[in-house]
Amino acid sequence: MPNISLRGINMPASPIRKLVPLANRTKAKGIHVYHLNIGQPDLPTPQIAMDALRSINRKILEYSPSEGIRSLREKLVSYYAKFNINVSADDIIITTGGSEAVFFSFMACLDPGDEIIVPEPAYANYMAFAISCGATIKTIPSSIDEGFALPSVERFEELITPNTKAILICNPNNPTGYLYTQKEMDQIRDIVKKYDLFLFSDEVYREFCYTGAPYISAFHLKGIENNVVLVDSVSKRYSECGIRIGALITKNKAVKENVMKWCQARLSPPLIGQIIAEASIDTPADYMLSVYNEYVERRKFLIDGLNRIPGCYSPIPMGAFYTVAKLPVDDSDKFCAWCLEHFEYNGQTIMLAPASGFYTTPDMGRNEVRIAYTLKKEDLAKALVVLEKALEAYPGRVL
């Protein structure tokens, strides 16, 4: 039998989804699983989006242009303008989710052997996409004890080599919920400018910033306009993960032309998804405010609850709908699997994402988990009780 590829062997398993088989077996036993492991919002998709889906009346479901439907891209221009992100429709390429935007960014900008600097913990699929294009991610650890603040300029410069090609940030951050300050964004800008690097900026959670300070986009940074490749998605802000519509935005014409080759190779982004996404941009402000307020309440409820459990600690996330929490356990991978395989409380258990999968530095995140507060408060309350009971019973509890 022929060997499978080394590239595939080296691809990391998703820390978010790798425990799914265990969860499925647990559910088959009649045990209820609270999913704290995945950023799938439980809030309803906007009615305007559902109406657009139901009113589709076409005789042919045709290919769209490889760069996406122009009317959607033009509508996105007005959406971004609300955040003082000034782009044209020609700067925007519609992708099959934000993940494809990251992948195409890497494929268009990086060669095998090129290096990307990424603060960690970081979204695990970044590593997978880097492996796919032969690039290397070099990570700079941030610390839960410092709230996952951006490491110093000196730490970045220690990693820069002749092969360094880019810096990648996620702002607000997945998995930590950290929101970069103006000072930190200026620090990134200065490094990008000094070493003439690309700045890949994943900004899919921009609606969910919980501080009074203004949201800072990579496109707000002066002097590096042609270095920036911005990644976006409608998945989180409109609860539309399943329509798979994202965007890649850049003012760099060479990058755009290169990205278009990859777009043409995959033919087109999803037609139905684009129709829904275009309608969603007109989502009423009261829907967006109600979603925002709901996440603010959930965040406070979850963080307060976590920090009341003996041995647990979570900093207060200032964006997105995740937090990374420290637990009194010997190994969070073992603990998360144990919760699904060996523990239940009143017919319930929890599914968490081990934080080790969001680090590449050995042994980091071994007592941390990522928790998504995408469940209603009533379910979060029950999940917190189950977590506390699980920690009391876990054989590998660290006192």
Query: Residue ranges per domain, the chain?
Result: 6-44+286-393, 48-280
Would you give the end-to-end CA distance of the chain in angstroms?
50
CATH of 48-280, one of 3.20.20.60, 3.40.1010.20, 1.10.10.10, 3.40.640.10: 3.40.640.10
Cα(160)–Cα(258) distance, integer angstroms:
25
Nearest in space to 182 (alpha carbons), one of 154, 143, 209: 209
Report the alpha-carbon distance of residue 272 to residue 53 in Å, rounded: 8
SS3 of residue 125 by DSSP: helix
Instruction: For residues 89 and 103, give the distance between their C-alpha atoms in angstroms, rounded to a whole number.
Output: 21
**Taking the alpha carbons of 31, 17, 374, 180 in that order, is the dihedral positive or negative?**
positive
Q: Give the whole-angstrom CA distance, residue 286 versus residue 21.
A: 39
Give alpha helix (H) positions in 110-244: 125-133, 153-159, 182-195
pLDDT in tens, 113-129: 999 999 999 998 999 99
Per CATH, the number for 6-44+286-393 is: 3.90.1150.10
CA distance 90 to 356: 39
Question: In the numeric block, which tokens belong to residue 32?
Answer: 């209820």
Stated pTM of the model: 0.95
d(CA 321, CA 299): 7
Answer positive or negative: Cα dihedral of 317, 290, 70, 241: positive
Residues composing the chain: 399
Strands 353-354 and 368-372: antiparallel
Q: In angstroms, rounded to a whole number, what is the distance separating the alpha carbons of residues 110 and 130?
A: 9
Mean pLDDT score across all residues of the chain: 96
Q: What angle is formed at CA 299 by the lines to CA 298 and CA 303, rounded to 5 degrees?
A: 115
Which positions of the chain have pLDDT values less than 70? 16
What pLDDT does 5 receive?
86
d(CA 13, CA 36) in angstroms, rounded, equals: 18
Looking at 50-191, which runs of residues are DSSP E strands? 92-95, 115-120, 136-141, 164-170
State residue 16's pLDDT score.
67
Opening angle at CA 268, ends 262 and 270, nearest 5:
130
* pLDDT confidence of residue 10: 80
Are 250 and 99 within 8 A, CB to CB? no
SS3 label, residue 384: helix
DSSP 8-class letter at 144: G
Please tell me the distance from the alpha carbon of residue 174 to that of residue 197, in angstroms, as a whole number.
Answer: 22
- pLDDT value at residue 147: 95
